[in-house]
Structure formats: structure tokens, C-alpha cells
Amino acid sequence: MSVARVTFCAMNAFHAVADPFRRELLAHCYRMVGSVHDAEDLVQETYLRAWRAYDRFEQRSSVRTWLYRIATRVCLTALEGRGRRPMPTGLGGQRCDPGDEPFRPPEITWLEPFPDRDDDPASIVVGRESLRLALVAALQHLPPRQRAVLVLRDVLQWRAAEVAEALEVSVAAVNSLLQRARAQLDSVAPQQDQLVEQPEQRELLDRYVRAFEAKDVAAIVELFTADAVWEMPPFATWYQGRQDIAWHLANRCPAVPGGQRLIPVSANGQPGFANYLRGEDGVLRAFNIQVLTVGPSGVSHAAVFLDTGLYAAFGLPEVLTAAEG
């Protein structure tokens, strides 16, 4: 058998055992780095390194564990010398006056949302609580090694000895890193959101779409809690409370009644919308991706990502056709 034939068979064998874990590795890398685009690159690097080492894989652990070990090391290397990806509320500043001009700092690389998919494997569906936007934002406050230990121990439920082997440190070091990570996370992570039953959430979201597309500001903010937060990277500006959110929507948002189209999406295990803005030529173009936190009292948080480059990650076009609009 030729060398090329042997290599082809080996590559097929590798992909057969490794490819089923690609999507959950993407979620793992996203938790580590806070960017779906960077996570995709890191998964590619993980599979490249795994393929190169496949002939030396001794099967002392499962393929899944082996791939996670490689992915974690790839992420830690990528995070060396790199700043964290925050949300505007995570910068430590006070809520903003809606009358002030929104501020866009050029030096900050922001957290991105993670698109959910209908065909996500069970490992992701079950673990979507660990993908919620607020938690991933809180993880960004941890140094990379603490972040890795926390994710491996508390999300993936690895034993301390497995984490120690993956990170090439002692079990005592793993336990120390985990203790510090949990303490830090407790100081920055928000309270767990109370989940809302699907029928009630669907009815609220339907009202949200109708109010937004009509640009009925009073109807929109009626769906928010009294202390709701509205933030919109890449602007560091963020607002809190119905009155400030209403002022922003009424005076800053460029849409007119009938000038927006909201397409439902799901991100980080949360409901959301891809918002298209109608231009003077009548064409609906990508405007923002909204990820909402919905509780029993209404929408408590709106993360509005003004990065139209995210639309491709959600499998959405940047321009809607006449039929779609």
C-alpha cells in the first residue's frame, strides 16, 4: 500500500473519532477566550496538533479528554499577553448619562456572543448555563490558568488529577488555583437568573418584536425591569433603568417606526434577535445582535452587539432580500 494511501486511511480514522467533538470543543474554547471567531481558529489549531500527534496517542484517556487537553493548552498559549474581553459593564465604571455622546474606546477587544444551534450535541445543550453571557463575561476577570482550572473542574467535572496532567502542574496547584478562581468569580459573577417558562417567555418576546419594529419606545421599556441594563459594545457606554433606556432608544436609535426587522436567534442559551435597519433606499441591512436576559419580571439585561461581522457566525446574511423584509 502506498504512503499516500496509508496517510489517507489514517486521516479518515482520525476524523472519524475526533470530528464528533468539534462543536463542544468550540464551546470550550469560547469559554476560555470569549470570542466565537477566535474559538474557531483555536479549534482548527487543536485539530491540527491532534492530527500531528495522533500516531503517538496511547489511548490512556478517551479521545475526548485528549482533545480537551490539547485545546486547553492551545487556548492558554493564545491568551499569553492578551487582555481580557470585557462587556461595558465590566469595565468598572458607573452607569452613563444617556444625554452624553456614546464613547467608543479603540483599544478594547470586546466579548462576543456564542450562537446556539438546533443540532448542538447534548454536552452543549446540558451545559448551556455555563455559556450564559454574564458567566462568560465573569470568567474573563480570571487569569487564564485560573479560568482553565475552573472550566475543567466545575464545567467539565474533571478530577483534580486529570486537570493537573492537562496543565502539567501538581494536584495541590490545581486545588489552589480553583479556590482562588471560585473566590474571584463569586465577587464578579451576577446572581443566577431565574428561568422563565417557555410560553411566558415567548409571549414577552412576541411583544418585544412588535414594539421594536413599531419603534414604540413606551411599549419596549414596559417589558424591561425597573433596574434593567442596556449595553452595546463596541461602545463603553451603558444605561440602567427604564427612563435612561427609553431616552436612548427615542433619541439615539436611528430607526423609524416600521424601519426595523427582528429575526429570532439564540445565543449563550438565551433568547435574542438579529436586528436589521431599513436604509433610505428601503433595503434592510444588518444593524445589531441583541442577546436578552429574561426573568419573571421582564427583560433585565440587553446586550446589543453592534458588530455586523457576527451575522455570519449566526448563519445570517448582512442584507435581507425583499421577500425576507
Identify the CATH number of the domain in which residue 214 sits: 3.10.450.50
Give residue 200's pLDDT: 81
Given 82, 99, 125, the domain boundary residue is 82
Range of the domain at 52: 1-82
**Residue 4 pLDDT > 70, yes or no?**
no
Mean pLDDT of 288-295: 96
- CATH number for position 5: 1.10.1740.10
- What is the pLDDT at residue 49? 95
Residue 163 located in a structural domain: no
In a domain, 269, yes or no: yes
Q: Give the pLDDT of residue 234.
A: 97
Boundary of a domain, candidates 36, 56, 82:
82
Given pLDDT bands bounded at 50, 70 and 90, which one contains residue 322?
low
Number of domains composing the chain:
2
**Residue 263 domain flag:** yes
Q: Which of 121-130, 144-153, 173-182, 272-281 has the lowest mean pLDDT?
A: 121-130
**Looking at residue 124, what is its pLDDT?**
83
User: Quick check: is 165 in a domain?
Assistant: no
Q: How far is CA 67 from CA 18, 94, 178, 241, 288, in A?
A: 8, 42, 22, 44, 34
Last residue of a domain, one of 53, 82, 111: 82
Is residue 280 in a domain? yes
Asked whether residue 250 carries a pLDDT value surpassing 90, the answer given is yes
pLDDT band, very low/low/confident/very high, at 320 (cuts 50, 70, 90): very high
Greater confidence (9 vs 34) lies with: 34
pLDDT of residue 223: 97
Which CA distances in Å does 178 have to 19, 82, 109, 145, 157? 30, 21, 26, 9, 12
The answer as to whether 31 is a domain residue is yes
Classify residue 249: in a domain, yes or no. yes
Assess if residue 7 is contained within a domain.
yes
CA dist., res. 91 & res. 265, Å (int): 27
State the pTM of this model.
0.92
